[in-house]
Amino acid sequence: MAQFFPYYFSFFFFLYRLLFRQAKNPKALHRNLSNLHANEGKVLYHKFPSFAHRPSSPPSKHQTLVLFSVEEALLKSSSLFPYFMLVAFEAGGLFRAFLLFVLYPFLCLVSEEMGLKTMVFVCFFGVKSKSFRVGNAVLPKFFLEDVALETVEMLKEGGKTVGFSNIPRVMIESFLRDYLGIDCVVGREMKEFGGYFLGVMEDKKRSKDGLETMIGSQLALGSYPHVIGISSFKESLQYHLPSHCNEIYLVRSGDKRSWQHVQREEYTKPLIFHDGRLAFSPTPLATLTMFMWLPFGFTLSIIRLTIALLLPYKLSTPILYYTGFHLSLSPDSSLENSNITRKTKGRLYVCNHRTLLDPLYLSFSLQKDLTAVTYSLSRVSELLAPIKTRRLTRDRDRDGEMMGKLLSQGDLVVCPEGTTCREPYLLRFSPLFAEMSDDIVPVAMDSHVSMFYGTTAGGLKCLDPLFFIMNPRPSYTVQVLAGVSGVDDSDRSRFEVANHVQSEIGEALGFGCTKLTRRDKYLILAGNEGIVN
């Protein structure tokens, strides 16, 4: 009899949860079902995504209001755990992320609402609200990678779009407004005290009331006589969609398996900047892998750093390759012949900026000592750098004088973007380098990581190299392009030379060229101008 006890216990536990959920709020359930039947004759229900098969003369786009559930109708994944893990890791640190991971079995056992409240408390409790930038600097990238193309196409048919969600509004608002062009976002507000999050959301009823108030105001104006709802059956009842919508498109969990991802080209706003250390979506299995790798990865990073600092290039390069580093070099043969003509000045290498290790990888690739000039460099990185480094002061005359002196001593490498960019885009090139030399060599650089990003805008920059070399197999691609002439040896201005070098590097890498600057990046990601004292 004792051996059957676990089975009896499991059965009664399941029965209790089933009955408890049904009886938890019978009045609300009765009200929702009553609304549904009351509007049964007026509301058209469709199976998602049957939007393409609507009548040939649907209401005008400018007269249509589209309501959609973020979790049920927009995101392909049915799990919110990865997004809260990103908040825990990026805003709270490693310990908070580990605590959330340990609680994952508990989250699977409790109800959906209780699991959501638990994740919110673990991730937000004690976090300073004013400095919370994960919602607009980190999460948009991962949300965009999980957006369904079918829903985005449906949203384009609406004159005004409204997204509603059960998760905190600070997590989704920037992603919906900035990158999908959603007009209004209804989410649950976080409670604060003394400028810090308490880890508690406002009652779910408030967000429902907010959605109904917004819909009522729009209908009262008469601007949108036709209202379309996109959600699951459960969500449509909870948010009383049948009492407001003319058409409702119901989404089933099985429908999401066939949905397609939105391509980068179809974003309303291109994703150029994003922050955070994690380079992967932290699902439970991926998070487990990360925590198992951390002790070994930290030890491996110390070994890699020691090899790079103490051994010469010819020895360190093959050894680092066997530790997981991958370096690919594509040299330009025409540069070998030009070495004979150089006499007084060194060669100026101009490369795009992917990580702080760009000059170091270029030095390893060319097997020669270089001097790197950069706009901002932490003291730790400056002390540990195996090549010479110099800081730029942002004073054009002083920086030009320093670069001229360094070129008279040997070869120099500069990253005129002034900051790193993770995505396949190039920022505006500062034109100062065009006046420094007539022997300018563009270098196209690209890096790939699988676990941690080696750059940050809001974190500790001194840890950037450490996070990069902690990756299992970090890789770099270096393409040395044909040399170009500077201002003194051509009829072009320094701006034209800088734009030409940017376009050459962009074409070699397949990257887009922008006019954005370091200041733009830090204003978006960190809320400051990125000036390091």
At residue 262, what are phi and psi to the nearest 5 degrees?
-80, 130
Distance between CA atoms of residues 170 and 162, nearest Å? 16
- Please state whether the peptide bond connecting residue 49 to the residue before it is cis, i.e. omega within 30 degrees of 0: yes
Between CA 348 and CA 357, with CA 352 as vertex, the angle to 5 degrees is 90
Is residue 66 classed as helix, strand or coil in its secondary structure?
A: strand
Residues whose CB is less than 8 angstroms from the CB of residue 132 and which lie 6 or more positions away in sequence, other chains included: 91, 170, 197
For 170-219, the pLDDT digits (tens) are 999 999 999 988 989 999 999 999 999 999 999 888 888 888 887 777 77
Token duo for residue 88: 């825990």
Is residue 427 classed as helix, strand or coil in its secondary structure?
A: coil
Token duo for residue 310: 């103490």
For 239-249, the pLDDT digits (tens) are 778 878 888 88
Q: What is the pTM of this model?
A: 0.86
Beta-sheet strand order (sheet of 440-448): 326-330, 475-480, 440-448, 348-351, 412-414, 371-374, 388-391
Distance between CA atoms of residues 491 and 500, nearest Å? 13
Distance between CA atoms of residues 186 and 244, nearest Å? 16
Using the CB atoms, write b or e for 3-17: b if 16+ within 10 Å: eeeeeeeeeeeeeee
For 269-321, the pLDDT digits (tens) are 889 999 999 999 999 999 999 999 999 999 999 999 899 888 888 888 889 99
| Predicted local distance difference test score (pLDDT) of residue 277 | 95
The fraction of the chain above a pLDDT of 70, given in percent, is: 83
Token duo for residue 157: 């048919």
| Predicted local distance difference test score (pLDDT) of residue 289 | 97
